[in-house]
Chains A and B, each alone.
Chain A
Amino acid sequence: MDLRSLIRPASQLLTPLRCLSAPRAVTAAVSLPLTSSRGHKTTARTKRALKISPHDSFLPSRTTEFPAADSIIYNPPASEASPAHTPFIFLPRNDPRRLAITRLRSTASNPTAYDSSQANGELPPEMRYKRRQPKYNLTKEHIEEMRRLRNEDPLTWSVQKLARKFECSTVFVQMAAPAPPEHLQWLKGKLERKMERWGPKKTAAREDRKRRAEMLYRGEL
């Protein structure tokens, strides 16, 4: 510390002298100071800012009295979960692991839970995505009506519209009331004409997306 505080004023004194002695030769070198501009004050401050107490999982367990005879610190690095670890409900009835986990869970704390919030029964928030929500609200008459509408005017009564009217999924409409074949043919032709108009960028982007999905399903992404 003392040495550095001495050096800096000295170097500051020296710089104009060096500029005078070699004005053209080492202009680039001159612009660099001899010592780093970061002083002891900022170093200490940075150190203090970066000093973070370790995560609880690194510390020995506090549940027992302080110097505990032996405690296990289990803190694996963050990594992708391996499929080799079979979840509890996937274990067959007579698997010894199932019995062991059941026995562990019957005790007060649940060590098989992934974190403390799960042990308390709190689960992470549900995601919103389209999923099957069976309602079973349609009768035979409804389906006949649906078929009649679709056959009469498939343009007006599209799959989306019928699904909204009968409060069912589009997949169900497609299964229960398929459009007449000439309408499907017309739709197909319409799509093909649309795809023909796509430029090279859009076509390539579509192909790439398809390829990416395949790679994802192969586990290569």
Chain B
Amino acid sequence: MKRIRPSRWSGQLLQARCGAGIAAARQPFLLAARSQSTSSAAAHDSSSTTSTLIDSPPPSLPAPSFSRAAQSAKLAALHARLSLSKKIPLQTLARALVTPSADANPNFNNTNLAYLGSTIVNYHVLEYLVCKWPRLPMAILYEALRAYAGDASLQQVARRWGVESAAAPGEEVDPGLLQWKAGEEQLVNTRWGYVRSDKAPAWRRGLSSRVVLDNDFGDQVSSLEAEKPEYDTLQSEAFGSVVQAVIGAIYTHCGREEVKAFVKSHILSRELDPSTLFEFKLPTRELAMLCAREGFEAPVARLESETGRLSRTPVYVVGIYSGNEKLGEGAGPSLDVARRQASMASLKAWYLYSPGNKVRVPSDMMEEGAKPWKAPYIDIGEII
């Protein structure tokens, strides 16, 4: 079996203009007389372009030209700050900063790189979450994924990298600034996911169906025109796409191992406490059903200690036991609240089981000389 060596591709893939002719057929109105190009593919008709240049001044570009990327101090600083490999040219980094809201042409904006990056980020985060907390319910898993790889979190990452947005995108702007604007309708669809069929709108949108349908975070993708998103949403999408595009660029130019290390150090290194994501409905009943399913004795609440029963602010400490084994403990100002707290603590203890802090994930096996794979713990599923 041959190993794919993306590092050897970088020369070809850098020339994103290769397929420009194909894209032009798809979007002719956007590609009208773009003289901005660094690729050899478009070089053969440079004589005709220069002739038009002499006749009339070219229309101003929607985003800064890539030829100015090498002169930008901001881009060089960002490249150095992220300790990116020398294989990644500044032009690619400049392209990662052009969002589709500034330049709708997919040959010049970061859409494709961002899509590639988002698949890589979501894959690495999801495999880590599934191996680290194998019993997380689906809803919590989606939220945990969003907490690591959602647009709002990626925006924070981009801000920490020092990415700043330009006041308005344009040709004269420094290419080291994020080219983004809100308000205009999105010319290019930047959302990816499986659209549900419109034939059965009354069908229940269950959680397990979201594994296949909808997008990576379990959100519905509608083919219809949605209502106009808010400014903050658009902004976090734009900043998030920068992070995704940079990760996509690292994968394209440097390969799998580098991108995994980058995701690990920039995204998986962020701390998330999944116990804060839970919202229960009937914790006592859920715990009883868990014990019945697993064959444990029925849970019994026992009063461990109390203080100030006749005062205004009593505190009760309740423990939940199954037989002689203690499942959890909770404190509260009334017996009922304390019992419910204890049930929730026990349920969290079940859901947040972790095999350890150093879990192996499937992508570890792709390293050379990896130890033989040991199957991770796989849970049988949710309780109710």
Contacts and interface: CB of A to CB of B under 8 A. Distances in A.
A173 to B, nearest CB: 18
A87 B280 contact: no
A88 interface: yes
A95 B327 contact: no
A94 B353 CA distance: 13
Interface stretch (B6-14, B258-266, B294-302): B294-302
B167 interface: no
A218 to B, nearest CB: 5
A121 interface: yes
A148 B304 CA distance: 47
B311 interface: no
B326 A87 contact: yes
B275 interface: yes
B349 A85 contact: yes
A219 B278 contact: yes
Interface residues of B, number: 46
Contacts of B335: 127, 129
B349 A87 contact: yes
A216 B340 contact: yes
B20 interface: no
A127 B301 contact: yes
A126 B302 contact: yes
B153 to A, nearest CB: 20
Interface residues of A, number: 29
A129 B345 contact: no
A84 interface: yes
A83 B352 CA distance: 7
B303 A124 contact: yes
B349 A216 contact: no
Interface string B244-281: 00000000000000000000000000000001101111
A218 B346 CA distance: 14
A81 interface: yes
Interface stretch (B83-91, B188-196, B314-322): B314-322
A14 B349 CA distance: 70
A92 interface: yes
Interface in A82-122: 83-92, 94-95, 114, 118, 121
B103 interface: no
B174 interface: no
Contacts of A87: 325-328, 346, 349
A132 to B, nearest CB: 7
B324 A217 contact: no
A124 B302 contact: yes
Contacts of B327: 87, 89-90
A81 B320 CA distance: 12
Given A83-B352, A114-B326, A219 B302 contact: no
B318 A219 contact: no
B151 interface: no
Contacts of A129: 301, 335-336, 339
Contact of A89 (B276, B302, B304, B325): B325
Given A86-B349, A125-B302, A217 B279 contact: yes
B231 interface: no
Interface string B321-356: 110111111110001110111001110111011110
Given A90-B349, A123-B321, A127-B335, A219 B377 contact: no
Closest 5 CB pairs of A and B: A83-B348, A124-B302, A127-B301, A217-B280, A83-B349
Given A83-B349, A87-B346, A87-B349, 17 more contacts: A80-B331, A83-B348, A84-B275, A86-B352, A86-B354, A87-B326, A90-B350, A114-B326, A124-B302, A124-B305, A124-B319, A126-B300, A127-B318, A129-B335, A219-B275, A219-B276, A221-B337
Interface of B: 275-276, 278-281, 283, 288, 294, 296, 298, 300-305, 318-319, 321-322, 324-331, 335-337, 339-341, 344-346, 348-350, 352-355, 377
10 contacts: A80-B330, A87-B325, A118-B324, A123-B324, A126-B302, A126-B303, A127-B335, A216-B337, A219-B276, A219-B278
Interface of A: 80-81, 83-92, 94-95, 114, 118, 121, 123-127, 129, 132, 216-219, 221
